[in-house]
Structure 1
Amino acid sequence: MDVKLVSSILGTVVKVAAVLPLLPLPISLLYGELDCIAPLLLTSLIMLVCGVALERIARVERHVRPRHAIVAVPIIWLVIPLFTSLPYRFCEHMSWLDAYFESMSGWTTTGLTVLPDIDHAHRTILFWRSLEQWVGGLGIVVSIISILRFETPSLLYVAEAREERIRPNVVNTAKEMWKIYITITAVGFLALWAAGMNPFDALNHSMTAVATGGFSTRSESVTAWHSPTVELITVVLMVLGATSFVTHYRVAKTFRTSPAELPKRIIKALRQYLQDRQFLTMIGLTAAVTAYAGAVSGDRAWDVVRYYGYQAVSAITCCGFSNADVLSFPEYAKLAITILMIVGGSTASTAGAIKVLRFLIMAEAVKAAIARRTQPIRGVVVPRIGSRVLSEDEISDAFAIASAYMFFLLIGTLLLTAYGYPLVDALFEVASAQGGVGLSSGITAPNAPAFVKILLIFHMWIGRLEVLPCLAALYWLTLILKRLAVKGRD
């Protein structure tokens, strides 16, 4: 393992990311929050100096190999939140642990918060949280790839738990994703502004909805507006964020290139969504959980759709917005929502968790295995999704990621229950953290024990990178430490 190469990659990313703390400065000036200017400038300066230092110390070409990428990317996701926790520490006077928790929750688009008083926090910090989620939604490395040219960007792209491509070239894929991302965010901002939010709230909620992050400028989340229109707009934004950007690209391309009249072009574009099995599965699971909650609770249909349905959408898209008090939900509703948080959204989207596609792959593999045992010996059964035949690698990867994901989910749940929390609440909280959701059963709070915060930080980290890259990074880091220990003894 070339430690210098990993340091060089880390230094480059940190150096480029140093521009991000400068972006909230106009908010500080606009709202007269001058006490936040120095922490933002200091954060940017420290990141720039450390990034340049790491690059110069390494002084190597970027001949990235898989093992370098698999180590560098998880470290990047640990280090960047460490730097960007400084504004929380010095603007809001949070403890170092709370500041790191908030920053990690932002970058991983989780949305769990330990900010003591959101309603009276600096607007600079509220925008900073939203900005972290917005950039983190597409991925730190994906964002850097769209700016810089590494020799083998595809390795870094895959190491950040992304596989599908819009264009054959990874750099062009990242750029196309950003074009789509910015467009949806801009439309969402205008829609929320028109629905009654002020421009600041509309911008923040559009950013965090599309990023499926869930940070809000109000402690009551979208409930503060008491507006079905706002809720409907955020539902659309959450679903769009959790839908594959490959599908969005196909929709945009169909809409642009179709020679038909506008209504026909719209119909052709919408058909692209209806042909996306991940999109249809998300909608189907949301409807099923909502119907289940309605059948068991016996509440009015409108209340079921508005409250249980909204939480179901927020859970499966891994956003975390809420228009009701989840703490008051019955246990059966929490368990149903937990299942959606484990499933998650589409691949090549901003959503987290295991992802719908992997469940579809595993279901097809099980279906094929059953068919092979019930059909004649000479029958050939091949697992496929649509017309695409699934490879053995795809199937094994799906089962490996799902198994590792569930293993850590259960371990985290057991640790929280051992700490005294109820089983359902513990499972709900860990599933929310690991899936990058942000809905809370009440465990996450400013006064939560340090152990709980550290545990949830760990789950946010491994969940954002889908576990396996983190395990691979820990494996390589263990080897590096062993070699250094041997050299030290010699």
Structure 2
Amino acid sequence: MSGFTGTGLTMVPDEGTLPHTVQWWRSLTEWIGGVGVIVLTTAALVRPGAESFTLYKSEARSQKIHPSIVSTVRTVWWIYVFFTSLSILVLWLAGLPLWHAINHGMTAISTGGFAVIDGSIGAYNNPLIELVLLPIMIAGGIAFPVHYLVLQDDFHGLYDDLQTRWFAAVLFIGTIFLCLGVLPAYDGAAEALQYSGFQFVSAVTATGFQTATDPAPRSLFTWPTVALLIMVFRMVIGAAAGSTAGGIKIIRLAMPVKGIRFQILSVFYPGSAVRRLQFDDRILDKKEAPREVGKAVIISLLWLVFLTMSVFILILVLPDDAYPLEMILFEVASAQGNVGISTGITGPESLPAIRKVTFMMNLWIGRFEIIPALLTVRKLFLWRDIYE
């Protein structure tokens, strides 16, 4: 579940001891899960039509590259393969052994986070590898239609796309705030920026690679509460819809913000004024705007409700005072946001069975989206009622 949802939380105490076959399987599940199992199914099996578009939208995708959905998802796969190959090459040139470069290239562009070495990327203690991984993770957090435009030499698409602009702003502002938050835990601003910057990009893009690992002072255990809460907020929001990242998605943050601004400004316009709310190439009128904004708010609210329920379950099943509340919230947000950064709660011994099952639900809902998950459960109960 952690692999196919592109999360990266693991029950393996030491990934380096796994056989290469298992390491490859873990990387492959994340690579397929990153672009989406449903997208793979649509590309290989489904005919063009309304049904294929419904499948495509079920993974929080709405933008099409071509008029045909099947052509769109096949183009997405070609872009994905191109970026994967490029990632493997640059990681190998940066100094990673070829086997490590192949696996980490696959799990970086898929924003998955599984590693083939214990201690994740921090185990290499190589700033060049960390620097090379940053643009790969960021590429995974940008919507594929934007990549398509860039590959077609249309660089205006990077700025014209609402999610990409917000994504860039969040990366810049969030890294500064997180750096200031972790500054007391490190020796100087340069070291704080190195670790906070990598962790923030990894959290925003839902990759899950870590450099803030043991031994101290690099470990997340040494981070102040405010720094952990900044990370929680970003893991909850996630990156762009239509990318390989998880979370609520930036578009669902942008829509309520623009919607509230739209409603407030309506006070200053006469009732006869014709106004439109624009999201990229979509122009919504006064009736459509509240409906679309309402959908985003409802999905975000349900996402947060399930997150809160999972936090309560974890508090109940973990030993008293085993972990502070901010670490519990961090771990649940990491699971449901399909991120994979861990404070040490997730493990074969430290996590009770009921919590493992709940975490699996967090992983599934985070990737499959809350509404399709609820509809699936409802369908199962209706199926049972029919045949009873």
TM-score, structure 1 normalization: 0.72
CA contact (8 A) 2:39 2:56 kept: yes
Task: Give how far 1:178 is off.
Answer: 0.6
Report the secondary structure of 2:32's partner residue: helix
CA distance in 1, matches of 2:197, 2:46: 43
Task: Give how far 1:379 is off.
Answer: 4.7
| Alignment-derived partner of residue 175 in structure 2 | 290
Out of 305, 310, 315, the residue aligned to residue 407 of structure 1 is 305
Structure 1 residues 381-390 or 110-119, which shifts more? 381-390
Compared with structure 1, are the counterparts of its residues 249 and 172 closer, same or farther at alpha carbon in structure 2 (3 Å cutoff)? Answer: same
Task: Give how far 1:293 is off.
Answer: 2.7
Task: Give per-residue Cα distances to partners, 1:306-340, cap 9 Å, x unaligned.
Answer: 11111110011011011112232211111001101
Task: Give how far 1:253 is off.
Answer: 1.3
Q: Does 1:162 align with 2:162?
A: no
Task: Give how far 1:218 is off.
Answer: 1.1
Out of 301, 319, 338, the residue aligned to residue 207 of structure 2 is 319
Q: Which has the higher contact order (CA 8 A, sep 6+)?
A: 2
Computing the radius of gyration over CA atoms, which structure comes out larger, 1 or 2? 1
CA distance in 2, matches of 1:224, 1:441: 16
CA contact (8 A) 2:34 2:112 kept: yes
Task: Give how far 1:158 is off.
Answer: 2.4
Q: Does 1:132 align with 2:29?
A: yes
CA distance in 2, matches of 1:375, 1:466: 37
Structural mapping, 1:20-31, within 5 Å: none
| Alignment-derived partner of residue 77 in structure 2 | 178
Q: Does 1:113 align with 2:10?
A: yes
CA contact (8 A) 1:287 1:309 kept: no
Task: Give per-residue Cα distances to partners, 1:470-490, cap 9 Å, x unaligned.
Answer: 1011111111111111xxxxx
Report the secondary structure of 2:163's partner residue: helix
CA distance in 1, matches of 2:225, 2:374: 33
CA distance in 2, matches of 1:446, 1:434: 19
Structure 1 runs (4+) deviating above 6 angstroms are: none
| Alignment-derived partner of residue 50 in structure 1 | none
Compared with structure 1, are the counterparts of its residues 277 and 313 closer, same or farther at alpha carbon in structure 2 (3 Å cutoff)? Answer: same
CA contact (8 A) 2:60 2:242 kept: no
CA distance in 2, matches of 1:273, 1:233: 20
| Alignment-derived partner of residue 367 in structure 2 | 464
| Alignment-derived partner of residue 238 in structure 1 | 137
Q: CA RMSD in A?
A: 1.7
Out of 330, 342, 359, the residue aligned to residue 428 of structure 1 is 330
Q: Does 1:438 align with 2:340?
A: yes
| Alignment-derived partner of residue 228 in structure 1 | 127
CA distance in 2, matches of 1:339, 1:164: 26
Report the secondary structure of 1:146's partner residue: helix
Task: Give how far 1:375 is off.
Answer: 4.5
Task: Give per-residue Cα distances to partners, 1:349-384, cap 9 Å, x unaligned.
Answer: 101111111111111111112222354555554332
CA distance in 1, matches of 2:57, 2:367: 13
TM-score, structure 2 normalization: 0.90
CA distance in 2, matches of 1:327, 1:173: 43
Task: Give how far 1:145 is off.
Answer: 1.9
CA distance in 2, matches of 1:379, 1:313: 42
CA contact (8 A) 1:117 1:219 kept: yes
CA distance in 1, matches of 2:23, 2:280: 43
Residues paired across the two proteins, number: 368
| Alignment-derived partner of residue 216 in structure 2 | none
Structural mapping, 1:212-227, within 5 Å: 212-227=111-126
Task: Give how far 1:400 is off.
Answer: 1.8
Structural mapping, 1:19-418, within 5 Å: 104-150=1-47, 152-254=51-153, 269-296=154-181, 297=183, 300-324=188-212, 325-386=219-280, 388-390=282-284, 391-392=288-289, 393-418=291-316
| Alignment-derived partner of residue 377 in structure 2 | 474
Structure 2: gaps spanning 5 or more residues: 213-218
Structure 1 residues 160-169 or 333-342, which shifts more? 160-169
Give me the identity figure in percent.
Answer: 35
Task: Give per-residue Cα distances to partners, 1:80-111, cap 9 Å, x unaligned.
Answer: xxxxxxxxxxxxxxxxxxxxxxxx00000000
CA distance in 1, matches of 2:7, 2:142: 17
CA contact (8 A) 2:109 2:137 kept: yes
CA distance in 1, matches of 2:117, 2:149: 36
CA distance in 2, matches of 1:228, 1:281: 27
CA distance in 2, matches of 1:386, 1:144: 28
CA contact (8 A) 2:27 2:103 kept: yes
Report the secondary structure of 1:384's partner residue: strand
Report the secondary structure of 1:389's partner residue: strand
Structure 1 residues 215-224 or 145-154, which shifts more? 145-154
Which amino acid is 1:148 matched to? Answer: L
Which amino acid is 2:198 matched to? Answer: Y
Report the secondary structure of 1:442's partner residue: coil
Which amino acid is 2:384 matched to? Answer: L
CA distance in 1, matches of 2:133, 2:335: 21
CA contact (8 A) 1:185 1:207 kept: yes
Compared with structure 1, are the counterparts of its residues 416 and 210 closer, same or farther at alpha carbon in structure 2 (3 Å cutoff)? Answer: same
- Larger relative helix fraction: 1
CA distance in 1, matches of 2:11, 2:134: 25
Compared with structure 1, are the counterparts of its residues 274 and 155 closer, same or farther at alpha carbon in structure 2 (3 Å cutoff)? Answer: closer
Task: Give how far 1:194 is off.
Answer: 0.6
CA distance in 1, matches of 2:382, 2:361: 21
Task: Give how far 1:161 is off.
Answer: 3.5
Task: Give per-residue Cα distances to partners, 1:148-206, cap 9 Å, x unaligned.
Answer: 23463222222344322111111111110011000001011010001111111001111
Which amino acid is 1:303 matched to? Answer: E
CA contact (8 A) 1:290 1:304 kept: no
CA contact (8 A) 1:105 1:457 kept: yes
